[in-house]
Structures are given as C-alpha cells and as structure tokens.
Amino acid sequence: MLRWLMGRSAREREFEQALETLDARVWPPLLARHGFLRGLDAQETEALRRHTAWILANKSFHGAHGMRVTPEMRRSIAVQAALPILGLDTSLYRGWTQIVVYPGGFLVPRTETDEAGVVHEYVQETSGESWEGGPVILSWEDARPGTDTPSNVVIHEFAHKLDQRDGGADGMPGLRAHRDLDPHRWREVLDRTFDDFNDWLDEVESLIPPDVDPESDEAAGWYAELPLDPYAAHDPAEFFAVSSESFFIEPWAMAAAWPDWYELLVRYYRQDPLRRLEGAGVERPVRP
Ligand SMILES: [Zn+2]
C-alpha cells in the first residue's frame, strides 16, 4: 500500500516536471510545428498540454537501430498521441509503457492464412505497430512533423491502442465512458461504411489500366478520389485507425462521404476537427 502510494507520488512528480518543461518557450513552437493542431481554444490547448505531459511522464521512449530519441522527438510524439484523447481520459493509454522509435521503416515478420488454408510467412516493411498490452513502435521518418500527407502514423497507432481496450482490436473502441454511444449503432455504421469503402476501392482498382502498377505514383491519381488510404480496407480495426488519421489531419473527404461515420467519431473523440480547422481558416488541401 505504502509502496503504491510512493510510486504514485513519484509519478505525479514526474508529471509536474514534464508539465514544467512544456513552458512558454517550448510549447507554442511545438504546437506550431504540427499544423493539424491549429484552431484549439485555450481550454483545449491546456488539456492537450496536460495530456502531453502525462504521456511524457508515463511512457518510456527507446531508440532502435542506433536511434537517439531527443527530448524534442519525445515531445513531438507525445503531443500527437495526446490529440486523440484530448476530450477523453489518460487512463485509456494505461496498461503498457514503451514507445520504440526506429529511424525509418522497419521489418516485421507476418503470418497470414489464405482462403485455401495455406499459411504464408513473410517479412513486411512498416512505419508503425501497436501491440496489444505491449509497445507502440514508430518510424521517426514517418512520425516526424512536416510530412505533408493526410496520414499520421502516431495517431494511427494510438487509435489502435484505444481500439484494443475492452475486447480486442475490432474497430470498436471501449464505449464504457460514452453513455451517448450505442455499441450496436457503432457496429452497424462501421460495418456499412467499411463495406462501402471496399466496394469503392474495387471500383477504383477496376479503372486502373492493367499496365499501371497499383503501387506506383502513376496509380496514386486513381486512389486520390477515395476518402481514405486504401489500407483502411484491410479490416475494421485498420478502418478505424485510418479513419482516425483522416479525422484529425484531413477530415474533409471522409466527412463528406460518410457523415454518419464522421459524426460517430466526433462523439467518440469529443471533438470536431473539421469545424476546428475550418474555424482556423485551414482550407481543404488539393491532392493530385
Ligand atoms: Zn494499423
């Protein structure tokens, strides 16, 4: 009991110290470096600062492949990770401690069973991983601010963390603290939107000429008309994670395509990035 209390007060001290480091010299430039944080009001900005400090105090950062994780990198990852829980409780990020940072994409062994029951083992390069009850693993090349894309690997992996709470990664985060959200409705809207996206993706892929490599830059123009990155079609858990990236970074296309899915995310995250960004004068980016 006493040790638990001592541990708790040590954590609180670490939190207070982390909060102090996010001072007037450090905090405003940190916000400015992450364009998607524009439009937060004073109360939201202070909540973000406290949640960022909580992450810095409660998570340990480790560099892999010789990477040195600087205080600035830690703050950048923490402030991005804090955004999804801005209107929620930090307890949603409890139950694990490590954030591992690679300099760039890293290789992960995968196993997949095809429809014929044949198991395929292969190695895949990825920019992020989130292990249930374990670490979040990030590629700094993809996580650092200023990469002008609608994707965000930090928000993606931390959305998986929210999804993994209360019954595994299935595209439905724990809704215990959301009495206004009906799990059946979540499932229904998620499944319908996920199916619609898969049909849309099939249609787009059928339009790409056979001599164009779907992985090439040339094919990007076809995929650009989709409201989400094609990776969202993988399964409902990835659909929720990729939707969360778009929700916070570039919500325009998703909100227009699926207003009811967007509205559910507004109610879950208790924030409306579309309204916030437009209120700050941010215009919908033009993609090729
Ligand atoms: Zn994912």
| Mean pLDDT calculated for residue range 110-125 | 89
Q: What is the pLDDT of residue 218?
A: 86
Question: 183-279 — its CATH code?
Answer: 3.40.390.10
Ligand 1 centroid to 74 CA: how many Å?
21
The pLDDT of residue 113 is above 70: yes
The pLDDT of residue 46 is above 60: yes
Q: Name the band, by pLDDT with cuts 50, 70 and 90, for residue 198.
A: very high
Ligand 1 centroid to 160 CA: how many Å?
7
Q: What is the pLDDT of residue 272?
A: 97
Ligand 1 centroid to 242 CA: how many Å?
7
Ligand 1 centroid to 201 CA: how many Å?
18
Ligand 1 centroid to 98 CA: how many Å?
17
Ligand 1 centroid to 103 CA: how many Å?
19
Of the chain, the percentage scoring pLDDT greater than 90 comes to 79
In this prediction the pTM is 0.93
What is the topology classification, in CATH, of domain 3-146? Cyclin A; domain 1 (1.10.472)
Burial class (CB in 10 A: 0-12, 13-18, 19+), 24: exposed
Ligand 1 centroid to 11 CA: how many Å?
30
Ligand 1 centroid to 127 CA: how many Å?
10
| Mean pLDDT calculated for residue range 193-208 | 96
Query: Where do the domains of the chain lie?
Result: 3-146, 183-279
> Each residue of 4-42: pLDDT tens digit?
666 667 789 999 999 999 999 999 999 999 999 999 999
- Angstrom distance (rounded) from CA 108 to CA 127: 10
Q: What is the pLDDT of residue 167?
A: 75
Ligand 1 centroid to 106 CA: how many Å?
14
The pLDDT of residue 148 is above 70: no
> Each residue of 59-71: pLDDT tens digit?
999 999 999 999 9
> Each residue of 164-197: pLDDT tens digit?
988 789 999 999 999 999 999 999 999 999 999 9
